[in-house]
Amino acid sequence: MRNKLLHAAILVCGVSSGGALSAEPVLPLIDAHFHVMPYMDTAELLQAMDRHGIRAAGGAAALGGPQRNEEVATALGPRYIRTTGQTQWLSLKQDGGVAALENADSPAFKARLTAIETDLRERGARAIGEIHVNTLNSAANERVYHKIRGDAPTLKALFDLAGKYQRPLNVHAEWSGDTARELLSLAASNREARLILSHCGVLAPPAEIREVLQNNPNIFCDLSYRSPPQLKPRMMQRMIFDASRLNGDWKRLIEDYPERFLAGIDDVYNWADYESTARSIRSGLLANLTPGTAEKVAWKNAQFLYGLE
């Protein structure tokens, strides 16, 4: 019982740099877009989550395939936001090329759609994604490098499935030109379904996202991978916040639409970057928002979208 009380105190009060409990209350966090990386020991990850007051994490697949995802789900239990779709999506491309990602009539896609629905219905998946749509300027590797139509029949099938089970569809799509227009068409095709733009459109400026949110009540944005250390000097035009500052135009947008944004760490390739990104979310993003907005961005919006307890 004493250990459970101590654990609760850490989540509520936080930990100082010296390891002692701090008296300053810490806003709980739900890491709404996070890939558990291959190097991450799950016990060490749970310790890191506790250290940063992160109650749950996920919303994007663990890297390492189905077996790794099962391992992570078992280790993190209810603190893991289990997803489905990314493994099936990328295997579809591997087997049939980019063209297979747009062919909703193929037996290969139909089989994967059935598997995704099984995960949603029977295995506790809380989102479909991360589905890569347009990564021509933001692909980490060849496996996810491609561009398809943002309103392809395959994506409409996934979106309808998301609506059926009231679980969001999370897409990585660079918000520009035809991709932006097509994703607006996708969102309009089923207003009962919810669409999360990973990394808030990757390249999108706040003025464009403002118009999107104003006209599309079922579109949401996660703010992952829009801050250093993940953004390198050549990418700084994409920055929304850093360790101490929140871009003024983005701040006004988030305050105007406080129920449409989520926080996330995404993928980090060492523990130092994990620590730095988690701290920046608190000190650069949440600390510069009004308390009510910060609470929604930190955890309430993710709790609602993923249907968490």
How confident is residue 6, by pLDDT bands cut at 50, 70 and 90?
very low
How confident is residue 25, by pLDDT bands cut at 50, 70 and 90?
low
Q: List pLDDT tens digits, range 121-148.
A: 999 999 999 999 999 999 878 999 999 9
How confident is residue 301, by pLDDT bands cut at 50, 70 and 90?
very high
Which CATH code is given to the segment(s) 83-306?
3.20.20.140
Under 8 Å between Cβ of 189 and 157: no
Q: What is the mean pLDDT of residues 237-258?
A: 97
Q: List pLDDT tens digits, range 176-228.
A: 899 999 999 999 999 999 999 999 999 999 999 999 999 999 999 999 999 99
Q: 107-122 and 153-165 helices cross at what angle (nearest 10)?
A: 20
Residue ranges of alpha helices (H) inside 153-270 are 153-165, 177-189, 206-215, 248-256
Assessment of whether the complete model's pTM goes beyond 0.95: no
